[in-house]
Amino acid sequence: MKNMKKLLALFLALALCASLLAGCSGNGSGDSQATESAATESAATESAATESAAAETSTEETSATESAATEESTEGAEIVAENVEAAVEYPAFNVGEVEANLGSSEGGEVNHTAFAGEAGKDYTDEAVYTLNDVMTATTSLNWNPLSWETSDDSMMMSYLTMGFYEFVLNENKDGWAIIPEMAADYPVDVTADYVGQFGVAEGETGKAWKIALNPDAVWEDGTPINADSYIYSYQNLLDPAQLNRRADSLYAGEAAIVGAKAYFYQGQEAFSPLGMTTSEYLANGSEEDLYLDPIGFWNAAGYVDAEGNEVPAYLPISDETIYSQDGTDAEDKDPFSAKSLYEEYFAPGMSYEDYAADYLGTVEGYPADASFDSVGILKTGDYELTFIFQAPISDPDYYVPYYLPMYLVKEDMYEALKVEQDGRISTTYGTSKDTTASYGPYKLDYFELDKQITFVRNDNWCGYKDGKHTGQYQADNVSIQVIDKHETQLLAFLNGEIDFVSLQQEDMEKYASSEYIRYEPQSYTTKLTFNTDESVLAERGTQVLGNLNFRKAFSLAIDRSTFAASYTAAGSAGYGMLNYMYVYDPFTGASYRNNDAAKAALCDLYGLTYGPDGDFDDVDEAYDAITGYDIEQAQQLMAIAYAQVTSDGTWDGTTPIKITLSVYQSDDIYVKMFNYLNDALKAACAGTGFEGKVELTMKADADYYETMYAGQTDMIFSTWGGSAYSPFTLLYECYCDAGINSDPNQMEYGFDSNAVEVTMTINGKEFTQSLQKWALWMDGDENTVLTSNDGSLTLEAFGNYDADTKCAIFAKVEYVYLANYVNTPIYYRNVGSLVSQKGDYAVDEYVDMVTFGGIRYYTFNYNDEEWAAAAGSLTY
């Protein structure tokens, strides 16, 4: 009997376990949530998707099978490269000819007719309509207009503020229109009125713009907003004692305001790079004025002198003070002095003289006690402002409204919240309900840290009374829940508690074909970024990554379509640095990636030929055929790489090579990505001398970007994106930024874009410059001047050329960058989201600049009462 009891107990226990386990596996989403939970952040943030993943899966599975078959067929076959030339770290490129034409500064025509909105459930409707949104955290949330930074901050601001001009849906709902909101009318060019002042020369246009302000604009408490309100805000934005995070938007970039930088840096000195060789500078200048950037050039951050003083940002070239890792002059502590660096590298005729453009410079002082009157933001009437830019704004109908800096804080509140400590002024403005003042369509009603944000209609917003917004802003309230976990967000969406949810890769099987899914392209490209610093790699035992053919072979072994479909929510295969989001002509919305020159660059990169002697009839056909995957060529290149690294002694041919891929975290999705890449690398090595000797290892590292910046890993996934309307600045700012006086943006450790020589023939003249210099010129750097090799032709500023010329030149340089394979694009990021049946966006397809119309045009199918009854029973 006793034994029977024991057996029964055991049976019951087992049955209980079994039923619990069965319960787990039966709950499809519950189980996957558990495993996904770790996948979250980076995979979620980096996940993407455009095409229907479900539709693609079968095709991609086939291609995956094919690639496996290829892999098997080469197994055992020794691929040996013969007559292999020695490896070259940075080959020179001659990229052919470009016919360059200057563009007109007039630009195209801007649409000013907005979609009025759907009549009906507007703010006069008595029923209550609430839009329920979600965000993952408020850790970085700050909606102080003078210091906001993130997209979440921007989202907060979109409810509380309004721009001088807004980009909204046009009347046909197929593009954008520009309409004045806080301005009363469109900008007027008044440059001629300021000749002789603020650096305006006779005959110049497009520099000074007068804006009539909306006289009906008021704060949420009814306090009027006039020109003085703006002047107060701009003055505080540039206040050197506050060091506001957005101050640079007035003095940096393409829309810098005259005098803003001098006001902000008053009483300080700033380093300005030469932008030319030492010889060129010394033709008119003096050595006494020259300074050197030791941190940018010598990577000397943290170096100290004998007394322990840290190396400053710039040093006079005559300075003989020794700086080193420990302040001594011991050889292994990397000692240097400014004088020794100058004489050894930068002096006329020395090997690195070209580098002087970036690392030598002059030091400019900004006078102390500057007056705000010297800043090009002027009150020219009680309801009128004039902005004077440092450089003329081209295509002004578009770019003046686009660039015009809009900053507004409520004076009495802002003054009351200022706190001074150690000479620095900080503020808690824009951090809670009590420290927030709205002048937009909604006002903050409730804010609970990391939990809940609620906006209610701001009845004092002038837009509700001007008759121009009748069909717009139909939501009475906006409620934003803070939910960190994606799984919880999805359940909340299905329960009807939130109206939008971003999807992850594992959701796509279920929701890819939902009629409520919306795809939003993003300007990000995710790439594999390689460490190519040979000395660092040698220490890590991964020196093969320094070989160009090895990296190229690895790239060709990756089937990007399979990768994007299998491991991202909505990503699409990525082949170039810039994806389809980048617009080179704002008036037509033409995408750089769809330009013939850009297509040709990628066809060249991946070896697809077209035309009479090519494999395809035209560039479009060839471009459409790009897969970036060619395992046979990958193996051939691996064989060449093997021959090169073993013959030049880079690698002994036997020591196993373990290449580290650092990823954000080691969750399920990253493990799958890693396994795919490891298999791809092994497939590329199959049949070559590398077979069985090279493999990837994965390392979870939440700081993996920092790790790569420090050169402490071999490769990472990196994602860069920029402003969709500034495609040509991306190359320098993300990929060739040497980090003058700062940490460099360039993540590809060891890649020296100054060492890559690029020759291009423009209008019949040959120009040979480093990749970095081309990139800097295209970034609009005023110090970078390109002169033909024979000295007979100097190019205009890049911005002065027409759109096609810009595309043609940029595409050739993009090709050179990609052909170095210091990173290899994998996929273009997109976001797939479900939108609840509670309401509808104005459009179902993404529209450039205005996405789906936003809350301005969102209309409701259910009011709150109806939704409470219906939500939860609806299917997606």
Q: Which of residues 218-257 bind other proteins (CB under 8 A)?
A: 243, 245, 247-248, 251-253
Residue 226 one-letter amino acid: N
Rounded to the nearest whole angstrom, what is the least distance from the CB of residue 695 to other proteins in the complex?
30
Query: Hey, what's the torsion of the CAs at 404, 186, 231, 424, to 10 degrees?
Result: -20
> What's the DSSP call for residue 732?
I
Rounded to the nearest whole angstrom, what is the least distance from the CB of residue 502 to other proteins in the complex?
16
Output 335 or 430, the one with its CB closest to other proteins. Answer: 430
* 650 near other proteins, rule: CB under 8 A: no
Output 447 or 610, the one with its CB closest to other proteins. Answer: 447
Rounded to the nearest whole angstrom, what is the least distance from the CB of residue 544 to other proteins in the complex?
27
Site size toward other proteins (CB under 8 A) is 83
Query: Hey, what's the torsion of the CAs at 337, 341, 347, 351, to 10 degrees?
Result: 170
Q: 225: which residues sit within 8 A by CB, 6+ positions away?
A: 182, 213, 214, 217, 218, 219, 408, 439
* 646 near other proteins, rule: CB under 8 A: no
Output 706 or 796, the one with its CB closest to other proteins. Answer: 706
* 667 near other proteins, rule: CB under 8 A: no
Neighbours of 119 (CB within 10 A): 9
Rounded to the nearest whole angstrom, what is the least distance from the CB of residue 392 to other proteins in the complex?
19
* 586 near other proteins, rule: CB under 8 A: no
Rounded to the nearest whole angstrom, what is the least distance from the CB of residue 551 to other proteins in the complex?
23
Judged by CB under 8 A, the residue of 226, 277, 431, 472 near other proteins is 431
Report d(CA 726, CA 288) in Å as an integer. Answer: 38
Which residues within the stretch 141-200 sit at the binding site for other proteins (CB under 8 A)? 141-142, 144, 147, 149
Rounded to the nearest whole angstrom, what is the least distance from the CB of residue 299 to other proteins in the complex?
13
Output 115 or 592, the one with its CB closest to other proteins. Answer: 592
Cα→Cα distances 577→709, 826, 828, 857, Å = 19, 10, 9, 33
* 478 near other proteins, rule: CB under 8 A: no
Output 125 or 706, the one with its CB closest to other proteins. Answer: 706
* 729 near other proteins, rule: CB under 8 A: yes
Output 82 or 422, the one with its CB closest to other proteins. Answer: 422
Rounded to the nearest whole angstrom, what is the least distance from the CB of residue 733 to other proteins in the complex?
5
Residue 34: CA atoms inside 13 Å, Cβ hemisphere, count?
Answer: 6
Binding segment (CB under 8 A) for other proteins, from list 1-9, 53-61, 155-163, 511-519: 1-9
Report d(CA 186, CA 180) in Å as an integer. Answer: 7
* 665 near other proteins, rule: CB under 8 A: no
Cα→Cα distances 833→48, 308, 493, 685, Å = 10, 55, 11, 39
Which residues within the stretch 409-428 sit at the binding site for other proteins (CB under 8 A)? 421-424, 426-428
Report d(CA 142, CA 152) in Å as an integer. Answer: 8
Contact string 671-690 vs other proteins (x = CB under 8 A): --------------------
Report d(CA 664, CA 40) in Å as an integer. Answer: 10
Q: 492: which residues sit within 8 A by CB, 6+ positions away?
A: 134, 481, 483, 498, 501
Rounded to the nearest whole angstrom, what is the least distance from the CB of residue 464 to other proteins in the complex?
24
Output 508 or 730, the one with its CB closest to other proteins. Answer: 730
* 581 near other proteins, rule: CB under 8 A: no
* 306 near other proteins, rule: CB under 8 A: no
Judged by CB under 8 A, the residue of 66, 174, 412, 448 near other proteins is 448
Closest alpha carbon to 293 in 376, 356, 203, 340: 356
* 477 near other proteins, rule: CB under 8 A: no
Binding segment (CB under 8 A) for other proteins, from list 33-41, 98-106, 218-226, 662-670: 33-41
Judged by CB under 8 A, the residue of 726, 759, 800, 851 near other proteins is 726
Rounded to the nearest whole angstrom, what is the least distance from the CB of residue 745 to other proteins in the complex?
5
Cα→Cα distances 428→234, 334, 445, Å = 18, 45, 17
Output 741 or 800, the one with its CB closest to other proteins. Answer: 741
Binding segment (CB under 8 A) for other proteins, from list 340-348, 450-458, 500-508, 793-801: 450-458
* 9 near other proteins, rule: CB under 8 A: yes
Sheet holding 269-273, edge to edge: 269-273, 360-365, 291-292, 315-316
Q: 18: which residues sit within 8 A by CB, 6+ positions away?
A: none
- Cβ–Cβ under 8 Å, residues 207 and 190: no
* 487 near other proteins, rule: CB under 8 A: yes
- The token pair at 704 is 């993996």
Q: Is 873 left (phi over 0), alpha (psi -120 to 50) or beta?
A: alpha
Rounded to the nearest whole angstrom, what is the least distance from the CB of residue 410 to other proteins in the complex?
16
* 501 near other proteins, rule: CB under 8 A: no
Judged by CB under 8 A, the residue of 679, 744, 757, 848 near other proteins is 744
* 495 near other proteins, rule: CB under 8 A: yes
Judged by CB under 8 A, the residue of 75, 221, 703, 865 near other proteins is 703
H or E stretch covering 8: helix 2-26
Rounded to the nearest whole angstrom, what is the least distance from the CB of residue 713 to other proteins in the complex?
15
Cα→Cα distances 325→300, 310, 359, Å = 8, 10, 20
Judged by CB under 8 A, the residue of 18, 22, 34, 868 near other proteins is 34
* 722 near other proteins, rule: CB under 8 A: yes
Closest alpha carbon to 807 in 599, 597, 605: 597
- The token pair at 542 is 């991964």
Rounded to the nearest whole angstrom, what is the least distance from the CB of residue 798 to other proteins in the complex?
15
- Cβ–Cβ under 8 Å, residues 340 and 322: no
Q: Please, where are the H alpha helices in 686-763?
A: 704-709, 730
- Cβ–Cβ under 8 Å, residues 445 and 229: no
Closest alpha carbon to 736 in 806, 808, 814: 814
* 43 near other proteins, rule: CB under 8 A: no
Judged by CB under 8 A, the residue of 723, 763, 783, 800 near other proteins is 723
Output 104 or 309, the one with its CB closest to other proteins. Answer: 309
∠ Cα 586 588 591 (to 5°): 75
Judged by CB under 8 A, the residue of 18, 30, 306, 618 near other proteins is 30
Closest alpha carbon to 726 in 403, 368, 313: 403
Output 327 or 628, the one with its CB closest to other proteins. Answer: 327
Closest alpha carbon to 803 in 456, 395, 470, 477: 395
Rounded to the nearest whole angstrom, what is the least distance from the CB of residue 220 to other proteins in the complex?
19
Rounded to the nearest whole angstrom, what is the least distance from the CB of residue 742 to other proteins in the complex?
4
Binding segment (CB under 8 A) for other proteins, from list 27-35, 506-514, 617-625, 759-767: 27-35
Q: Under DSSP, is residue 50 helix (H, G, I), strand (E, B) or coil? A: coil
List the beta bridge partners of residue 859: 840
Contact string 95-134 vs other proteins (x = CB under 8 A): ----------------------------------------
Output 417 or 557, the one with its CB closest to other proteins. Answer: 417
Output 424 or 465, the one with its CB closest to other proteins. Answer: 424
Q: 643: which residues sit within 8 A by CB, 6+ positions away?
A: 80, 81, 84, 689
* 783 near other proteins, rule: CB under 8 A: no
Residue 114 one-letter amino acid: A
